[in-house]
Amino acid sequence: MSFDVDVTRRVGETQVSARFSGSGLIVLFGPSGAGKTSVLNMVAGLLTPERGHVRIGAETLFDAAAINVPPERRRLGYVFQDSRLFPHLRVRENLRYGHRLARSEDRWMDYDDTVRLLDIAHLLDRWPKGLSGGEARRVAIGRALLSGPRALLLDEPLSFLDRARREEVLHVIERIRDTLKLPILYVTHDEREVERLATQIIEVG
């Protein structure tokens, strides 16, 4: 499974463009305000490009001429900067929400395997408000994996974390990249993350 993306859209006063293809962990790298998250949102279907295409594997998700698959049908696991866990659900139910989103034929990650991979068994009965930033990111990644994604989209997943929590999340992302071999599109402006994680770097802005 690999990305094939060529998109352009004006966002405010900025013309945002990106063109890349490949698998592994692709980093969208550049300064704040360059349009990295806008590219991620175009891939996710949350923003519509003015031209170009978005393909993952053999499926075209967007083509300016004729195709625009809705976000909920793109099978992309999106992890936002702020995690966006449901505050009224314990960690266990946040994870199961992701599992319920997936059609049975699209589910490739087992609930128990996800909990083990992310080392979050001790968090299952906790409420989101009681989680550290790193714990919340790991739970959000778990919910995304359980939705049966063909790829992960990670928007600055280490932002606002202290050094210890950053290391926790970095280990998780490395395991997903190296063990699951799941394609990842990753937004950052931090060169240390690029050096450690990237299999391909796309500069935006």
Residue 60 scores a pLDDT above 90: yes
Residue 137: predicted pLDDT: 92
Q: Domain range holding 40?
A: 3-203
Q: pLDDT > 70: what percent of the chain? A: 100
The whole-number pLDDT of residue 159 equals 86
Domain harbouring 141, CATH code: 3.40.50.300
pLDDT in tens, 49-59: 999 999 999 99
- The torsion of the CA quartet 86, 88, 93, 97, rounded to 10 degrees, works out to -40
Evaluate if residue 82 carries a pLDDT over 90. no
Query: How many contiguous H segments (helices) and E segments (strands) does the chain have?
Result: 6, 10
pLDDT confidence band for 109 (50 / 70 / 90):
confident
Number of domains the chain contains: 1
Over residues 146-183, the pLDDT tens digits come to: 999 999 999 999 988 888 888 989 999 999 999 988 99
pLDDT at 68 over 80: yes
Environment class of residue 125 by beta-carbon count within 10 Å: exposed (0-12), middle (13-18) or buried (19+)? exposed
Task: Tell me the mean pLDDT in the region 109-114.
Answer: 89
